[in-house]
Amino acid sequence: EYDSGKCLGFYKMGVYFNDQDQLDSARHYYHLSLDIANEISNMKYKSQAFRALAIIEFSTGNLLKADSINNLDLDNTIKYKDSLGIALAYDFKGTINQNKGHYLIALENVLKGLDLFEQLGDSIRIADGLNHLATLEYNLGNFKQAIHYNQKALGIYEAYDDSFYQAQALNDI
């Protein structure tokens, strides 16, 4: 009868199946988690289920559906004044729009997310936002600016000994 635990358990089952590339099963468990999160009005669990579902849709090329789900997450995080959640939703909205070829909309959203990450002092996510800006600048043909943002991101990744994203930033540079 511990609904919060069930909600988290279903979410973790979704993560497991997502890691196994069994996306239908992952969706199923994320939806179960979302249903319980709605029943118990748990904003945090609701947001993580929305985010997970949006990421699945994004990774399978369903950009419109990913954007729609991400908008639900953004509305949820704004309603409950979750600054980190708002930042993540804006940043992801930028990534989605970049992949749709809507670079200026993407830039606007990534900048909103980055501003909030900076206000929160979340260094790793600042680096991620800088990396996203670099990709956008590259797509807009602003190569020097893209390198600049990647170098700033690289410095943060090095400070946190994040070798995976150091390699990505170096590759992008």
Residue labelled with tokens 């390699």: 167
Residue 31: phi and psi, rounded to 5, are -65, -40
Residue labelled with tokens 């997502």: 18
Tell me the average pLDDT of the chain.
96
pLDDT attached to residue 44: 93
Task: Categorize the per-residue pLDDT at 138 as very low, low, confident or very high, splitting at 50, 70 and 90.
Answer: very high
- Would the pTM of this model clear 0.85, i.e. be above it? yes
CA-to-CA separations, 90 to 79, 98, 111, 156, in angstroms, rounded: 14, 12, 8, 21
Residue 114 scores a pLDDT above 90 = yes
Average pLDDT over residues 34-51: 96
pLDDT attached to residue 41: 95
Cβ atoms of 25 and 17 within 8 Å: the answer is yes
Average pLDDT over residues 81-101: 96
Cβ atoms of 27 and 56 within 8 Å: the answer is yes
Name residues whose C-beta falls within 8 Å of residue 155's C-beta, 6 or more positions apart in sequence: none
pLDDT attached to residue 104: 92
Angle (CA) 83 94 125, round 5°: 50
pLDDT attached to residue 66: 98
Residue 1 scores a pLDDT above 90 = no
Name residues whose C-beta falls within 8 Å of residue 148's C-beta, 6 or more positions apart in sequence: 134
Residue labelled with tokens 């997970």: 52
pLDDT attached to residue 86: 97
The alpha carbon of residue 86 and the mean position of all alpha carbons in its chain are separated, in whole angstroms, by 10
Residues 95 and 75: their CA atoms lie apart, in Å, by 18
Residues 169 and 146: their CA atoms lie apart, in Å, by 10
Residues 10 and 49: their CA atoms lie apart, in Å, by 10
